[in-house]
Amino acid sequence: MKEDVTKELQFAVERTFAHTFRTPVAGRFTPADLRQFPPGSVTSIIEITGHGPTGAIVLAFPSQTIFNLMKEIYRRDFTEVNKSVTDAVGEITNVIYGVFKHRLENYGYQFGLSLPSVTTTPLTSFPLGTWAQAAEFHTPAGPFYVAIINGGTALAQTA
């Protein structure tokens, strides 16, 4: 199941960026290492609930990456993390989760609705009793990071 989950999350990330930003992304999931999540990132956590795998999806955008992505959409500069920026990260997370959820429902799983929680507080650990996979994705706007945490308590710990 772990391979299916990471494969479908990778598909969801690639599809979201291809359709939303018209830009390719490249990344590969490996065992998670929190050092991949740089300080100063805008991080979004969305809980996976329902009848199937449980856990969370975490996206972390270094400020400059999300500023560059938003500039592509709004055609203006962003220089500080504000409500527009955190809303954008939450919406990107929602879209990725929606694609991911739909793909895993093809395996017979049923998932509940979740809303992302967006923070600038760095991740400090993953809960005990979980496995986590993470990927650094590369775009012309800069890198960003995605992790999937499965099992145990769903949410990652923040400082």
On whether the CB atoms of residues 8 and 103 are closer than 8 A, the answer is: yes
Place of tokens 């499965």: 150
**Distances in Å between the alpha carbon of 7 and those of 87, 119, 138?**
26, 26, 17
pLDDT above 60 (res 129): no
pLDDT tens digits along 139-152: 999 999 998 887 64
The pTM of the full predicted model, rounded to 2 decimals, is: 0.86
pLDDT attached to residue 18: 93
pLDDT attached to residue 34: 61
On whether the CB atoms of residues 6 and 148 are closer than 8 A, the answer is: yes
pLDDT tens digits along 10-48: 999 999 999 988 888 988 888 766 666 777 789 999 988
pLDDT above 70 (res 8): yes
pLDDT tens digits along 38-92: 777 899 999 888 777 778 898 999 999 999 999 988 899 999 999 999 999 999 9
Average pLDDT rounded to a whole number, residues 98-110: 87
- CB atoms under 10 Å from CB of 103, counted, come to 18
pLDDT attached to residue 109: 81
Q: What secondary structure letter does DSSP report for 119?
A: E
Q: What secondary structure letter does DSSP report for 34?
A: G
pLDDT attached to residue 153: 39
pLDDT above 70 (res 116): yes
Instruction: Name the more confident of 111 and 130.
Output: 111
pLDDT attached to residue 23: 86
CATH architecture, range 2-150: 3-Layer(aba) Sandwich (3.40)
